[in-house]
């Protein structure tokens, strides 16, 4: 199926408002956080869509919000679709899809670790890569690098500063 | 020591100082701890392999810090790893030596602008030899080991520290 057919099939499968956005990387289906779980469930369980694989789940901090992306693939029909959802920067919440795709477990933990999005219903939402006592979420644009960590002085040296871009 | 090359008719005697004999043994039995943190670790394995053959200098890899004299920090040290590096260094018995292998371990290197990268392992543990390169070739690591051996041979370990 091409993206237009996927869009129509998706609109027929759920009641939620779905917006089709297109940028240089291709077509994405934008949904509200309230409808995210239902849309993703329809993507997996609708026989026309049948997206049995969650290839990737990630997020980007753009302006004052975090854009979540769910890249889905169907091995039955060999089509790919991307679901996009915008959550606010502070107190952003999205439903967890671990019960649909168990592989989402670590992907959501990574998004939580680096961007600070809370996934409600996740079985074990804690940091996956950074230490547990780390402060902040580094992939946010307003993140300030730590100068000290556990008593270790990690401020850049004078030589380093001379190489840094002003 | 040249007399060692000639065969003795009877039992021979070699005269030397205790320091020289001790340093000679210490420098030629450097057990290094396997500490491959990133791609430099691959280069360290090459050095320990049959081509680089670090074994011919008496340097043998050990998997435990308690049996090691030398720590080769090979790779990027993250802030999460920094406390582990410190703990493992503290577990090594004295006298102990450290080679900081590669740009990442020296200063953070290519990954220095990262939020989680330590700006050089010398912020956590003392370093004896800094080995530049990204990554250094096995010959360079061998040269660093020889530099450590030279340092050991120049030490007067048994004398009272003033």
| B125 — pLDDT class (breaks 50, 70, 90) | very high
Query: What is the mean predicted confidence (pLDDT) over B39-56?
Result: 90
pLDDT reported for residue B94 = 86
pLDDT at position B1 over 60: no
Domain hosting residue A46, numbered range: 3-130
pLDDT reported for residue B140 = 93
pLDDT above 70 covers a percentage of chain B that reads: 92
ipTM over 0.85: no
pLDDT reported for residue A166 = 67
Query: A154 and B80 in contact by Cβ < 8 A?
Result: no
Structural domain contains residue A146: no
Residues of B in contact with A152 (CB under 8 A): 79, 82-83, 118, 123-124
Q: Determine which helix (DSSP H) or strand (DSSP E) holds B106, and give its type and residue range.
A: helix B102-107
pLDDT at position B7 over 70: no
Structural domain contains residue A67: yes
DSSP B124-142: TS--SEEE-SSSPPHHHHH
| B101 — pLDDT class (breaks 50, 70, 90) | very high
Residues of B in contact with A144 (CB under 8 A): none
CATH number at A78 reads 3.30.460.80
Structural domain contains residue A151: no
Query: B112 and A160 in contact by Cβ < 8 A?
Result: yes
Structural domain contains residue A120: yes
Structural domain contains residue A57: yes
Q: Is B70 strand, coil or helix?
A: strand
Are the CB atoms for B62 and B31 separated by under 8 Å? Answer: yes
Residues of A in contact with B118 (CB under 8 A): 152, 154
Structural domain contains residue A160: no
pLDDT reported for residue B109 = 85
Higher pLDDT, A86 or A6: A86
Structural domain contains residue A164: no
Half-sphere exposure (Cβ direction) of A16: Cα atoms closer than 13 Å: 20
A17-26 pLDDT per residue, tens: 888 888 888 8
Query: What is the mean predicted confidence (pLDDT) over A11-39?
Result: 86
pLDDT at position B11 over 80: no
Number of domains present in the structure of chain A: 1
């Amino acid at each position: 199926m091409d993206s237009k057919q996927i869009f129509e099939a998706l609109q027929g499968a759920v009641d939620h408002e779905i917006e089709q956005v297109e940028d240089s990387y291709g077509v994405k289906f934008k949904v509200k956080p309230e409808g995210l779980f239902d849309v993703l469930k329809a993507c997996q369980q609708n026989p026309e869509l049948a997206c049995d694989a969650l290839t990737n789940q990630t997020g980007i901090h753009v302006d004052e919000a975090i854009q979540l992306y769910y890249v889905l693939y169907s091995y039955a029909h060999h089509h790919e679709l991307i679901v996009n959802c915008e959550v606010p920067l502070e107190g952003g919440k999205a439903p967890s899809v671990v019960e649909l795709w168990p592989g989402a477990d670590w992907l959501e933990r990574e998004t939580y670790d680096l961007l600070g999005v809370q996934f409600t219903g996740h079985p074990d939402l804690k940091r996956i890569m950074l230490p547990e006592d780390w402060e902040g979420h580094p992939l946010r644009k307003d993140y300030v690098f730590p100068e000290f960590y556990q008593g270790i002085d990690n401020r850049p040296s004078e030589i380093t500063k001379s190489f840094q871009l002003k | 020591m040249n007399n060692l090359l000639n065969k003795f008719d009877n039992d021979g005697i070699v005269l030397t100082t205790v320091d020289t004999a001790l340093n000679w043994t210490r420098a030629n039995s450097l057990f290094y701890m396997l500490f491959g943190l990133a791609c430099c670790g691959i280069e360290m394995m090459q050095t320990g392999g049959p081509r680089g053959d670090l074994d011919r200098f008496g340097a043998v890899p050990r998997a435990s810090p308690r049996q090691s004299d030398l720590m080769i920090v090979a790779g990027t040290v993250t802030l999460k790893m920094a406390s582990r590096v410190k703990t493992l260094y503290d577990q090594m018995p004295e006298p102990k030596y450290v080679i900081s292998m590669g740009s990442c371990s020296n200063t953070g290197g290519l990954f220095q602008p990262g939020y989680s990268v330590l700006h050089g392992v010398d912020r956590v543990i003392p370093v004896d030899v800094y080995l530049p390169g990204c990554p250094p070739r096995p010959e360079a690591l061998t040269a660093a080991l020889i530099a450590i051996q030279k340092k050991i041979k120049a030490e007067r370990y048994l004398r009272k520290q003033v």
